[in-house]
Chains A and B, each alone.
Chain A
Amino acid sequence: MNASLFGATASILFSLWATNAARALDGAPYIHDPSTIMECEGKFYTFGTGGGGLISDDGWTWRPGAVRPGGGAAPDAIRIADRYLVAYGSTGGGLGGGHSGRILTMWNQTLDPQSPDFKYSEAVVVASSDGIEDCDAIDPSFLLDPTDGRLWLTYGTYFGFIRLVELDPKTGKRVEGNQPVNIAIDCEATALIYRDGWYYLLGTHGTCCDGANSTYNIRVGRSQTVTGPYLDQTGMDMLRGGGKLVVAANGRLIGPGHFGRMDLGEGVEKFSCHYEADLDRGGRSVLDIRALLWKNGWPVAGENFTGGTFVIESERSGYVLELTVDFVRMAGSRRGGFGGPGGAAGGRGSSSTNALGAGVSGGPGAGSGPGNRGPVGPVTPVALQTLAEASTNWPAGMMDVRLGDYMLRPHQKWAITAVTNAGGYLGSPYFKISLAGTDRVLAATGDAEVVTVPTFTGKPEELWRIDQLTDGTYRIMPKAVPQSKEPLALTAVGSSTPTLAKFDGRGDKARWNFKAP
């Protein structure tokens, strides 16, 4: 095995892939003020300011094509029963220089503009501002309260208050007699979400629309009643400017705003936003989708997985994914035993057999080393075992994997790289998972097990979907399992045994951590 060649090749390819993976989505995700992403008949849709929006077949590669009439700004969308309700601000927000705004809602049976059922209902005004009052009716956002089915809408910008009104989920119109409630100041692009007894009000703070100089960032407060008060983690009311940071500029992306939540179930949540400037795309405003984590009852932005070289650790056992090969001893074996003064104690051996084999520093009392007295002679670093040293007797074909104690060994380190032109899923491309320094990749088998194959061919069973779960661990799933229609996830069926199984988010068996080797 030519490890150095593989290493060099992998390094070059990784550079290319990493550049791609660090960008916010693929294709042409150019949009400002995106609505919450909706799935409709297998495709994903988001609408933006000015009309229109983006479509994606897989959630990773986006193109223009969504259709929303009415122009105006900053729409939102929600699915209610078998219809979609879309809201937008027809004016306001300084459009034309004023703060007289109107929020309108309209229905559609489908979001697919090619569908014969695609037809928006006549838009109706559900909230407004007169241009003088302390509110600017723009930036609407829906919440269908899962506890009682009531439909709420927040709106507003820096010009005064963020307000909350109630709509009729059957008509999309304002509930008769409903009066707006002030719930925040000094933010815009709000979104309401509900989780575990709490309502969360997310708002975008900072400056927009100034490219790489925009200071947009997303913050949050929470309340146990939908009408507030919404307090941040310090207890500061959002009516006094409070707000806990959810996501700010990162990587080469500046100015996140317009939060939209997607709950995919089974412990997977994502959120959409736009960045005011993607430095890799000329500083243009782009859509992004990121994992949504929950920490101590607060939403936190997950990191977009972009690949790298990792140890893949099982949350269940703490063991790591490794090639099923003979353990190869490293240089730098133990010198002496555990002895105390005088070195009388010697080595302890392993729990089952002596790790060094018969005759070497075996049982209690055999050692003669320095023990706690410190080293004798110079202390020099011990080199890590190389791939060449470890792989001498590895077979050439398919090889199994298992879980084992992490020992810094080459057969336990995985290079994970985004695969171009292989599609993706919400927010990410598919990845290949290679044994670091080799062409050998992780693959799903037809009997729903996981192995490694000598070379990457690009087959679906060699492509992996990596979703960060709400607790920060990861779910790892092959794009496809041969002869199986059911999505399966890498699962520690035993402490030391991985397999593929239907994902169960209730325990730790299918949760994984990526750690630096």
Chain B
Amino acid sequence: MLVQGFGVLALSAFQVLSAVPETAAPGVSPGNPGRGARDYTPEHPRSLAPYFTPATSSPKAPDKDGFLQRWLLLEPIRKPNRSNTVFTDTYIRNAFTTEYFSNQFTMVPRAGDKVTVGGQELLWHALDSSQFNIKLFRFADGLNKPTYGVLFWAVTVVDSPREQRDIRLAVGSNSASMWWLNGKEAVILSGDRRMVMDDCVSKRLTLNQGRNIIRGAVINGPGMSDFCVRFIDEKGDPIKDITVNSENAGN
């Protein structure tokens, strides 16, 4: 069940929600809920552990299933939405092609780099995920940043020992997201998405020998947000003979 059910049923709990302002989603609800409410996480010690550790200087291979676990993540940009059902293709293309900071589609950040969005200074963090997926909710929560009604930018640098043709970028995200490989749009996940591995897959593409840049943007209203990314081959098997090296980032 969900709080949104209260909106439908006009039950007493809904009246409580009705008093919740701004980013709350009374009456509607993101399937990945917070069930419509704003972030009411009680006060607690903030930490990125156990979900993330700082990225190390040594190259990192994908996990056993090919998932890329090292990413440069920008602290969340506020983008309030009452419901994730607004994430149509048109909406997210507009949202993701809006310029929030300079060189947003070309820069390869370093850990600690800062950008200013709407007068607010946001930091890039180079992190290794302890999971196959990148838990953006925990990233934001751990930094005591907004967790609902947010837009995340993510960048990673993939080194391939050789050119690899006819492979695909496979993504799952909660909620909508859009991904680019070496500056070209690769895959888009519209709608109120729940994270499913290999949910949306790019057309066949080529991973260059040497450095490749993956850039992604994930947007979410209420509820948890996360993503998982890997490359797969023609058979759907994971590409694992690659590494991610944040030391190269920004070079």
Interface contact tally, CB-CB below 8 A: 181
Closest to B37 in A: A97
Q: Are A209 and B195 in contact, CB atoms less than 8 angstroms apart?
A: no
With an 8 A cutoff between CB atoms, is B44 at the interface? yes
B85 within 8 A of A: yes
Q: Report yes or no: B8 in contact with A211, Cβ–Cβ below 8 A.
A: yes
Contact flag A131-B40 (CB < 8 Å), given A50-B11, A210-B83: yes
Within 8 Å of chain B (Cβ to Cβ): is A476?
no
Q: Shortest Cβ distance from B41 into chain A, in angstroms?
A: 6
Residues of B within 8 A of A160 (CB): 224
CB-nearest residue of chain A to B38: A97
A207 in contact with B42 given A189-B1, A240-B197 (CB within 8 Å):
no
Interface size on B, residues (CB 8 A): 51
Q: In the complex, which of the residues A50, A89, A206 contacts B192, with contact meaning CB atoms closer than 8 Å?
A: A206
Chain B contact surface mostly = loop
Produce 1/0 per residue, A273-295, CB < 8 A to B.
Answer: 00010000000110000000000
Q: Closest residue to A51 on the B side, CB-wise?
A: B11
Q: Which stretch, A143-151, A180-188, A296-304, A399-407, touches the partner chain B?
A: A180-188
Cα distance A87–B9 in the bound complex, in angstroms: 20
Residues of B15-60 at the interface with A, using a CB-CB cut-off of 8 Å, are 16-17, 20, 24, 27-42, 44
- In this assembly, does B241 line the interface, its C-beta being within 8 Å of a C-beta of chain A? no
- The interface centre, meaning the residue of A32, A73, A158, A188 with most chain B CB atoms within 10 A of its CB, is A158
Report the count of interface residues on A (CB-CB < 8 A): 50
A240 interface neighbour in B16, B20, B41, B196, Cβ under 8 Å? B196
Contact B1 A206 (CB under 8 A): no
Q: Bound complex: CA of A194 vs CA of B17, how far in Å?
A: 38
Report Cα–Cα, A209/B29, bound state, in Å. 6
A93 within 8 A of B: yes
A32-B9, A209-B2 given; A93·B35 CB < 8 A: yes
Given the complex of chains A and B, what is the CA–CA distance between A32 and B13 in angstroms? 14
A188 and B8 form a contact (CB under 8 A): no
Known: A97-B24, A158-B35, A241-B172; 7 extra A-B contacts, CB below 8 A, are A33-B5, A94-B4, A94-B36, A139-B1, A158-B32, A158-B174, A208-B2
In the complex, 18 of the A-B residue pairs with CB atoms within 8 angstroms, ordered by the A residue number, are: A49-B6, A50-B13, A73-B1, A73-B5, A93-B1, A94-B37, A94-B222, A95-B35, A98-B42, A157-B33, A158-B31, A159-B33, A209-B29, A240-B172, A240-B197, A241-B194, A241-B199, A276-B8
